[in-house]
Structure 1
Amino acid sequence: MGITDRKEREKLEMRRLIMDAAMDMFVKDGYEKTSIRNIADKIEYSPATIYLYYKDKDELLWGLQTEAFEKLANVFREGITAIEPIQQLRQMAKLYVEFGMGNPDLYDLMFIIRSPMNAEKNEEWKSGSSAFQFLMNIIQAAIDKLKYENVMIGALSCWSMVHGLVSLNVRGRCKVLEVPEDKVQDMLQIAVDQYIDNITR
């Protein structure tokens, strides 16, 4: 391995070390209470080292968010296997619920806290676009069977419904329903299935 290759590998390893430490601290201590200095202390480097990779805490969190959305997009790529668009929509909704339920802290960082959006300078939400495009493609393919006027309204409506359910659970709001914790995912999936049944009648 040459010097250039070794330096590139070391940069990637350092970036991974910073991101893993930041993720751990954002989840355990909260975004507002975590500082670049705290992260530097955790990995035993100076804050100046972190600033070589990220200009501020928002950009670091946005990097984590971008990575998380790629993970979600990969879940869709691998898990959506049906040929018929309505069945694809059902599979996607199920995968989305499973992802949110299985990764509540990551989901919170992706969707619920506002700070990552501060690092995005234009109006387009680039980090979420690849995952949302899967939904747009499915709605486009199934638009003749759905009760929507256009693809964007259909995609936004479907996403809002599933996202709302997962967000309620991530923030502990499903507890008011007094549903046993091991039954919450089943309940959310039933709600999603009934929603898809309603929009395809």
Structure 2
Amino acid sequence: MGRKEKNEQQREGIRQMILKEAKNLFLKDGYEATSMRKIAQGAGISPTTIYLYYKDKSDMAYALHKEGFKILGKQFMVLQSVENAFERLKAMGKIYLRFALENPDFYEIMFIMKEPIEFLSKQDTCEWEEGEQAFNSLLNTVADCKKEGFFKEMDERIVALNIWALVHGLCSLKLQGHLDHVAAAHLGEDMQRDVLDDAYNGLILMISSLR
């Protein structure tokens, strides 16, 4: 390995340490209470060095936001071979739910924290490449469902937006404990069942009737 490659590898290692520490502090202490100095200290670098990698903490929040979408996007990629559009739609929802449960830290930054989107809105472009790729996967699948007879006379953009909002709602309620709390109060002995899975299956049943 040449000197240039070693330097680049070292830089990438430091970048990952910075992002890891930023993610931990954002979620533990809150975005507002986290300072660049505190992130640098936790990452084991000087406050001066950290500015060689990120101009401010909103830049870091957006970088973490992008990292999360890369993970989610790779998981969606496996569905490209699923020809039945409605089966693909159901699988997308399952992947989204699993992603949220397995990566609650990234999910919080991607879909709960407002700072990454605020960072994007301050840039010269309003393009949201990583988010658009994920949403377009859903939108294209909804459009394919229309070809199979679903969502007749409905705008696929509105359908896709509503489906995303509903599944996101389930994820948020689960991650914050509200879904299990309400289920425990109203389902009682049935709580041995997978409440999130049951709720999602119920949602799919309702969606499947729109044909």
Query: With structure 2 as the length reference, what TM-score do the two structures score?
Result: 0.86
User: 2:168 aligns to what?
Assistant: 163
Equivalent of residue 150 in structure 2, options 146, 152, 161:
146
Equivalent-residue separation in structure 1 for 2:192 and 2:52 (angstroms): 43
* Segment of structure 1 superposing worse, 145-154 or 105-114: 145-154
User: How many residues are matched?
Assistant: 200
Answering whether residue 99 of structure 2 is matched by residue 99 of structure 1, we say: yes
| Cα-Cα RMSD | 1.9
Equivalent-residue separation in structure 1 for 2:192 and 2:41 (angstroms): 37
Distance 1:9 1:176, change over 3 A: same
| Bigger relative contact order (CA 8 A; separation at least 6) | 1
> 8 Å contact 1:65–1:110 — kept in the other structure?
yes
Answering whether residue 140 of structure 2 is matched by residue 129 of structure 1, we say: no
> 8 Å contact 2:139–2:160 — kept in the other structure?
yes
Q: What is the deviation of 1:29?
A: 2.1
* Segment of structure 1 superposing worse, 78-87 or 6-15: 78-87
Equivalent-residue separation in structure 1 for 2:118 and 2:16 (angstroms): 22
> 8 Å contact 1:70–1:130 — kept in the other structure?
no
* Segment of structure 1 superposing worse, 186-195 or 175-184: 175-184
Q: What is the deviation of 1:79?
A: 4.8
Equivalent-residue separation in structure 2 for 1:126 and 1:83 (angstroms): 25
Equivalent-residue separation in structure 2 for 1:182 and 1:37 (angstroms): 46
Aligned-pair identity (%): 34
User: 1:75 aligns to what?
Assistant: 75
User: 2:87 aligns to what?
Assistant: 87
User: 2:47 aligns to what?
Assistant: 47
> 8 Å contact 2:25–2:39 — kept in the other structure?
yes
User: 2:108 aligns to what?
Assistant: 108
Secondary structure (helix, strand or coil) at the match of 1:193 reads: helix
> 8 Å contact 2:90–2:204 — kept in the other structure?
yes
Amino acid of the structure 2 residue aligned with 1:177: A
* 5+ residue gaps, structure 2: none
* 5+ residue gaps, structure 1: none
> 1:79-127 deviations in whole A, cap 9, x for unaligned?
5642110110011111111111222232111101101112212333233
Q: Where do 1:28-43 residues align within 5 Å?
A: 28-43=28-43
Amino acid of the structure 1 residue aligned with 2:77: R
Secondary structure (helix, strand or coil) at the match of 1:133 reads: helix
Answering whether residue 208 of structure 2 is matched by residue 197 of structure 1, we say: yes
Equivalent-residue separation in structure 2 for 1:185 and 1:125 (angstroms): 29
